[in-house]
Amino acid sequence: MKARLPQGYGGGGGGNMQQIARQAQKMQEAMETATVELEAKEYSATAGGGAVKVVVTGKLEVKSIDIEPEVIDPDDAEMLSDLIMAATNEALRAANQDKEETMGALSGGLNIPGLF
């Protein structure tokens, strides 16, 4: 006796695989385009009430650091270091969050290791 598959299964397996492959290729192309766009973006953050401003790129590279002269205290270099670190980390978090949201929207929420 031959087993019967529910309607919509079997029979067109080759066509379904081709359709899935086309969809995967479109998703990959959209992700590549989004990656290029994300890498071109800039993200900025400030610390110390705007005393330190850091700008990073979507490639997670520091582009600029602006420091207000009044926060430069030779006797307290550690405070300046902390402000720079805080602003840099916040800008990097913003870049990463934007990337995760953009890629998550493109992948429909799929979490495929190594995809992005």
- The CATH code of the domain that includes 58 is 3.30.1310.10
Domains identified in the chain, total number: 1
On whether the CB atoms of residues 80 and 73 are closer than 8 A, the answer is yes
State which residues form the domain around 90: 15-107
Q: Return d(Cα 96, Cα 108) in angstroms, integer.
A: 18
pLDDT at position 108 is: 72
Nearest to 104 by CA among 38, 25, 19: 38
| SS3 category, 88 | helix
1 domain residue, yes or no = no
Q: Is residue 65 part of a domain?
A: yes
Q: What is the pLDDT of residue 80?
A: 93
Report which secondary-structure segment, H or E, holds 40: helix 13-40
| 4 in any annotated domain | no
Helix (H) or strand (E) holding 92: helix 77-107
Residue 3 forms part of a structural domain: no
Given a cut of 50, the residues of the chain with pLDDT beneath it are none
In this prediction, residue 94 carries a pLDDT of: 95
| Residue 105: per-residue pLDDT | 85
pTM over 0.75: no
